[in-house]
Structure 1
Amino acid sequence: MASENASTLPDETMSFVLRQTELAKAGLRLGQLTIQGRPTISTPTFIAPTSRGVIPHVTQDVLSKLTRVPAVYIGLEDFIEKTPQKAPVFHLASQASSRLRDFIALPSDCVSILGPRRVPALECPNQNTNSSIAICTSVGFKSLNVDDYVQNAQPLQADITLSIADVVTNKQISQKRVEKSADRTHAWMKDTLTAGAEAEPNASTLFASIPPLEPHQQSFYLSDLCDEYKSEIRGIGLHSAETAANLPQALQDLPRICLTNPESPHDILRAVALGNDMVTVSFVTETSENGIAFSFSLDESGEQSNEPLGFDLWDASHATDISPLVKDCKCYTCTKHHRAYLHHLLSAKEMLAWTLLQIHNFHAIDRFFAEIREAIADGSFEQKSREFSRAYDVEVPKASGQGPRIRGYQMKSVGGGEPRKNRKAYGRLEEQARKLKEAESGVATPEVETLAEDLENQGLGEVQK
């Protein structure tokens, strides 16, 4: 497509404009995504995964005022209880266009993306079937019928709705299971479009999900996306970053959402180089909860070597350091607070610590993607990517302190006898109860008797027997 401004396009639900299409041949893409009623998003950019519809440790007013998160990803399994139809989100009396947006109080300037499972998804003990996928809800592992997902996603009216895909989480799968995954995803896509044609029109835009398979393993599905479904879909949801490099030519002009779980900025650079337009960044929240503040930059990595991607605010060296988290950083945390304060908050287990770290780390990711777009535009992306790989460690620093309590969907249960994931919040009360009973009975405790003997030895009193 031409590099015209997306705002000049006809009034429609969504438009995506690719700029500098000669770069797209090499994988790199610059684009602008415009959704009706939302600010235009420059791509490549990031998506913040949510927990129960919100970014952990960030309230919606903080999200709007102190961060620049362009889009959030929401998993329907977060809201399902015993049955999908009984979930409170479906019974909200909303006068707005999106019941989901009202339910989670999402700011109007943030794009909502709805999928069946959260990112990253927790592996379930039960398996997908021909008509359902396994999910992890707040009341345990369940199965979500494909028809239920399609019917329930429509009234929620997210800005972008992903079709359902048969994603296999096992590392080793048979050829028969691969074929089954492709066939199921293909059939479910057809069912989704059929159900959408029969329902009342809404503002949601459908993105076709593509499972993490090789192109030849799902050639029939990709062929139908190009020939039959192209006019019905508005984008692509990828469960593997590598899939972007092997998409058919007919799908090249569609925006791509990468639903993988990158573990560092290095993974983000690889995903962008392959041609992904929007990337989920779940590792940001994990880093904040570990007490780590990002300190990397794509533009300032030329002369560095083996630098850490962030620094640990649990470290005692920050106890008296009144400098900002990162020099010249313009985020709220760095302009209003210093390292010693964050270290104190972490040591005291104050919730504000993780909120301030989230604000800083999301600001760092937003700035990182802005540097990526600038590098693509001026042709220096490949050089800066090499310099970044040499300048920074491969992994984000590990946690050295105890973060917030782990939620149930963050860990896989392995059955009885497994160790506790969280430390006990409260100690035993027997000792306090004993002391209280002695005080009420008037019997002196050993500590009081010892103190009286000390006073007598110093000639300040006499113990009455």
Structure 2
Amino acid sequence: MESVTGASLAQLPDEMFKFILQPVSMPDCAGRLGQLILRGRPAISTPNYVVPTSRGVIPHLSQDNLQKHTNISTVYVPLEDFIEKSHAKAPLYNTPAPNGESPLRQYIGLPDRHLSIFGLRRVPNIPCPAHNTDSSVAISTSVGFRSLEVEQYHEAVRKLKADISTSLPDLINTKVASAKRIEKSADRTRAWLRDFVEDIGEETGLPFFASIPPHETELLSLYLSDLKDEYNSHISGLCVYSPSTVSGLPGALRDIPTICLTDPSSPQAVLAAIHAGVDLLTVPFVTKSSEHGIAFSFTFPGWPQTPNQPLGFDLWSTSHATDLSTLSTNCTCYTCTRHHRAYVHHLLQANEMLAWTLLQIHNFSVIDAFFSAVRQSIKGRTFEDDMRTFSRAYESELPALTGQGPRVRGYQMKSIGRGEPKKNAKAYGKLDEQVQKLSEAESGVASPEGDADYIEAHGGAKKVE
């Protein structure tokens, strides 16, 4: 069925934004099929995956490879990737965008067929030591931690014109928080949404998703009530940070699309999120696995006759040094149809960048087929049985990361303070010995090796009678 309120939310024309739900009913399962339609972009079948970007690009995939060899439809772009010391001087804001086009899309060169989702923090994000305030949020930039004013984020939403933007949540970094801190988190998130509506309203003319912090439904009851009643006409969807949030949503908020910005640890965690009713889900573990040499080998729902199969293979292992088989059986991606495990193993050992490109192409192909099979399973109303089959067929965790990945950037992990070890292995050794040899060669006083006959035979000297 068509979403009851999907087209009316955000007061947009039908041809600009619409979320259509298909009539699939499964007892004890909130998983659902839908289509997200945005004018100028291909329709996206849900549930589906969202790929987090780094500085606006998917790591290890150039734009031509992205279009030729993957079926990625949606990317997530965080603002903190582009801000350093000064928000106002970020080059992102000076990008020419003719005819009202998106400066964000122009700056990162995102192809037209990809949907862009815009938010504040990276996925997964680095917890900041500073705390949020009523008027600012703490962010992690490439040059350290800083604060960003809420108004500056709203300005970015207005200027950058992403396909879908999300409101600011007040997320708590600590594992344990007091009831007062949780109450403040809900109040701030509600206040920031109110400020956004008052500052921008429908000015951007693009879908806007309201963020919901990951707290118990009872503690969010007032905020959820406001979303349902007061802000119904201003939001086009919801953005959550934990799949468990979706299961507690009131029915009036379940007819609109839900994006989950989270870091699932495995395909089983992805299935659990879909079972809870998530429509779009970030999958940062794909890039993490590719960077550490893991090639996915799972399919959905798998074969129960061969239980506890690995979800992937570590191609750093020397057992693949002479293995001429494809990365995954029956895979038809660019990597598997042209290369074998031994070649990718060699590239990893040589630290060739092509290794991570080929692994990204393959792993995203596996994830794409995985989500496609999940949609077919929901359509056939066998999703719950297939989930159980998958759990029996494969191990519960991805293979352990043993190989060294690409050099990490400073903003990819939190600093632990003074005396911490270097995050990257030493790339170059001392050159003193080579400099000395070069100096001797250029001075002409290098000491030759061998006896007089050897030196004369090689033209290094001539005997004088």
* Same topology, TM > 0.5: yes
TM range (shorter): over 0.9
Q: Compute the displacement of 1:464 (Å).
A: 7.9
TM-aligned CA distance change 1:413 to 1:369, over 3 Å: same
Correspondence for 1:295: 297
SS in 1 for 2:111: coil
Alignment of 1:374-453 (within 5 A): 374-445=376-447, 448-449=448-449, 451-452=450-451
1:93 to 86, 92, 96: 96
Q: Deviation of residue 275 (structure 1)?
A: 0.5
Q: Partner of 1:166 in structure 2?
A: 170
Using the alignment, how far apart are the partners of 1:23 and 1:73 within structure 2? Answer: 30
Cα distance in 2 for partners of 1:453, 1:297 equals 71
> Structure 1 residues 339, 12: CA separation in 2 closer, same or farther (over 3 Å shift)?
same
175, 189, 194: which is aligned to 1:190? 194
AA partner of residue 121 (structure 1): N
- Counterpart for residue 62 of structure 2: 59
Shift of 1:444: 4.1
Aligned: 1:336 with 2:338: yes
Contact in 1 for aligned 2:3/2:19 (Cα 8 Å): no
Distance 1:148-1:24 versus aligned 2 partners, 3 A rule = farther
Residue 454 of structure 1 deviates from its aligned partner by: 10
Letter in 1 for 2:279: D
Counterpart of 1:29 in structure 2 is: 32
Offset, 1:414: 1.1
Deviation string 1:8-43 (CA, Å, 9 cap, x unpaired) is: x96432100111253487311111110111001000
The structure 1 residue matched to 2:230, chosen from 220, 228, 231, is 228
Contact 2:78 2:122 in 1 (8 A): yes
Aligned mates of 2:411, 2:15 — CA distance in 1: 37
How much has 1:455 moved relative to structure 2? Answer: 5.1
TM-superposed CA distance for 1:132, in Å, is 0.9
1:40 matched residue in structure 2: 43
- Measured in 1, the distance between the counterparts of 2:118 and 2:463 equals 76
Distance 1:455 1:365 in 2: 65
| CA-CA distance at 1:392 after TM superposition | 1.2
Matched AA of 2:438: L
Contact 1:166 1:181 in 2 (8 A): yes
Indicate if the aligned counterparts of 1:302 and 1:384 stay in contact, CA closer than 8 A: no
Alignment CA distance shift 1:308-1:183 (3 Å) = same
**1:29 aligned partner, one-letter code:** R
The 3 A distance-change label for structure 1 pair 440 and 302 is same
Q: Is the 8 A contact 1:269 1:385 kept in 2?
A: yes
Q: Does the 8 Å contact 2:297/2:329 carry over to 1?
A: no
Q: Distance in 2 between matches of 1:387 and 1:25?
A: 17
Secondary structure at the counterpart of residue 86 of structure 1: coil
Maintained 8 Å contact 2:302/2:393: no
Q: Does residue 176 of the first structure (1) align with residue 174 of the second (2)? A: no
After superposition, what is the alpha-carbon deviation per residue over 1:236-287, rounded to whole angstroms, capped at 9, x for unaligned?
0001110111101110101000111101101101100000000000010000
State the 1:350 CA deviation: 0.7
Match of 1:307 in 2: 309
Secondary structure of 1:17 counterpart: strand
Q: Secondary structure at the match of 1:84?
A: coil
1:264–1:441 distance in 2 versus 1, CA, 3 Å: same
The question of whether the paired residues in 2 share the 8 Å contact of 1:453 and 1:463 is answered with no
Normalised TM-score (structure 1): 0.93
Distance 2:83 2:137 in 1: 13
3-state DSSP of counterpart to 2:25: helix
Of 136, 141, 160, the match for 1:156 = 160
TM-fit CA distance, 1:318? 1.7
Counterpart in the other structure of 2:116: 112
Q: Which residue of 2 aligns with 1:213?
A: 215
Task: Give the distance between the partners of 1:364 and 1:436, measured in 2 at CA.
Answer: 51
Does the 8 Å contact 1:326/1:334 carry over to 2? yes
Q: Distance in 1 between matches of 2:353 and 2:125?
A: 25
2:80 to 77, 82, 105: 77
The 8 Å contact of residues 452 and 463 in structure 1, kept in 2 or not, is answered as no
User: Matches of 2:248 and 2:27 in 1, distance apart?
Assistant: 13
Amino acid at match of 1:61: D
Question: Tell me, which stretches of 5 or more residues in structure 2 are unaligned?
Answer: none
> Does the 8 A contact of 1:154 with 1:204 survive in 2?
no
Deviations along 1:363-397, one digit per CA (max 9) or x if unpaired, are: 11010000111111111111111111122112211
Conservation of the 8 A alpha-carbon contact between 2:301 and 2:387: no
Equivalent in the alignment of 2:347 = 345
* Alpha-carbon spacing, 1:384–1:337, altered in 2? closer, same or farther (3 Å): same
Counterpart of 1:101 in structure 2: which amino acid?
R
**Unmatched 5+ stretches in structure 1:** none
Equivalent of 1:267, from 266, 269, 274?
A: 269
Q: SS of 1:417's equivalent?
A: coil
> Secondary structure of the residue that 1:236 maps to in structure 2?
strand
SS at match of 2:140: strand
1:124 maps onto 2:128 in alignment: yes
1:139 is aligned to: 143
- Identity score, percent: 54
1:15·1:34 contact (CA, 8 Å) conserved in 2?
yes
The code of the aligned residue for 1:239 comes to: Y
Name the residue aligned to 1:250: 252
Does the residue aligned with 2:88 lie in a helix, a strand or coil? helix
Residues 93-114 of structure 1: CA distance to partner in whole angstroms, max 9, x if unpaired?
1115211001000011110000
TM-score by length of 2: 0.93
The root-mean-square deviation of aligned C-alpha atoms, in Å, is 2.3
- Number of equivalences: 456
Equivalent position of 1:364 in the other structure: 366
Partners of 1:19 and 1:30 within 8 A in 2: yes
Residues 52 and 79, structure 1, Cα contact 8 Å, conserved in 2: yes
Distance in 1 between residues matched to 2:452 and 2:119, nearest whole Å? 72
